[in-house]
Structures are given as structure tokens and as C-alpha cells.
Amino acid sequence: MSKRKKSRDELRRLAEEVCQLIRQMEPNAVIKATLKRLYETEDAWIEVLLPYREWNRKAERISDAVYKRVWEIEMEHGYHIGVSLRTLDEVKAGAR
């Protein structure tokens, strides 16, 4: 992968593209995108709460599509966008 200057506008556009993909697949998802490094390797971080109690086939399809697209973005543009997909039960368990 070639080294190229990273643009905040391009990163914003690509992160919004990932958010739109999620919204298209699940309009009721709660999405929070952060365009700063939360972790050392990410250029942006997207947290998604899927409106399902448990992980199911639809969540699996969303996960596959989202992780495929963020991998393509990394390969094509050099941006690493981290994504956390969780369900209601996972959030509830984490709050205990």
C-alpha cells in the first residue's frame, strides 16, 4: 500500500459511507461515529447498537457487509475505520 496524505474530509466521507451502509441494512440502528483515534491503529471509530436482543442472522449479514467495506476502504484509501457492532443484550451485559 502506498503512503499518501490522509485527508480529514475524505475520512469523514468514507466514515459516513459506512454509516449509510449500516442505516440501509438496519434503519433502527443507533450509530455514533468518531473521527479521531480512540485506539492507536484506527483513523476513525464507529459504534453501532443493533436493535436486536441477541446476535442473529440479520446482525451477521450486517457485520459481514460492514467489515468487508471497511477492509476495502483500508486497501483502497489507507484509512483504518474501526467498527464495534453490538446488540442490546451485549450492551446490557457490559453494564453489569
Rounded-to-10 torsion of CA 62, 68, 70, 75: -170
Q: What's the domain count of the chain?
A: 1
Q: Write the CATH number for 35.
A: 3.30.300
Extended beta strands in 1-96, E state = 30-34, 44-50, 81-87
* 85 assigned to some structural domain: yes
* 1 assigned to some structural domain: no
* 53 assigned to some structural domain: yes
* 3 assigned to some structural domain: no
Domain extent, residue 34, equals 8-94
90 vs 37 pLDDT, higher one:
90
* 40 assigned to some structural domain: yes
Per-residue pLDDT tens over the stretch 24-78: 999 999 999 998 766 677 899 999 999 999 999 999 999 999 999 999 999 999 9
- Residue 2 has a pLDDT of 44
Does residue 9 have a pLDDT over 60? Answer: yes
- Residue 5 has a pLDDT of 65
- Residue 59 has a pLDDT of 97
